[in-house]
Amino acid sequence: MTRRVLGGLALGALLVVGCGGDKPVGPVAGELTLTLATPNLTDGALLLRVVGTIESVTPVGNYRVESAPLPGGMTRIIVTGTITSGPLVRIRVPDVGVAAQYLALVEQAAHRQTFALLSTTEYQVTVAP
């Protein structure tokens, strides 16, 4: 084979390798779901704090949700309704590829009928795509 043919084959192989795959380059915006594990059957309101940049918050199911940004890339989210274990809200984030860097915790919980504050020590919130 001539140098020209070998050079053409090498260039073709580089182009195929360089163009292979459909993986996006850079951040990919999308949604993450906050899922609650609660020790109670009487939750009526939760105050969550989420660490990480959030673009928007939407409820899952019949929950009512309000949110407010905090300094330092955090957001507070209030969820009200008949709250049970399971998905609570979806958050839109600028990069779902860093979902593991998001942290959510229950700061306060209130009883559905008496509005009494509940201990938050056994609550867990997971963040996942």
Instruction: Share the mean pLDDT of the chain.
Output: 89
The vertex-94 CA angle with 38 and 49, nearest 5°, equals 30
For the cut 60, the answer to whether the pLDDT of residue 122 exceeds it is yes
Distance (Å, rounded) from C-alpha 72 to C-alpha 74? Answer: 6
Q: In the beta sheet, which residues pair with residue 117? A: 110
pLDDT score recorded for residue 12: 53
51-106 residue pLDDT tens: 999 999 999 999 999 999 999 999 999 999 999 999 999 999 999 999 999 999 99
Cβ(99)–Cβ(59) below 8 Å: no
Where does residue 34 rank: exposed (0-12), middle (13-18), buried (19+ CB within 10 A)?
A: buried
Kindly report which listed range (2-6, 27-31, 105-109) carries the lowest average pLDDT score.
2-6
Average pLDDT over residues 104-129: 97
Distance (Å, rounded) from C-alpha 99 to C-alpha 129? Answer: 7
At a CB cut-off of 8 Å and minimum separation 6, what does 61 contact?
A: 81, 87
Handedness of CA 99, 102, 103, 108 (dihedral sign): negative
pLDDT-derived band at 14, boundaries 50, 70, 90 = very low
pLDDT score recorded for residue 15: 47
Q: What is the pTM of this model?
A: 0.80
Domain boundaries, the chain: 24-128
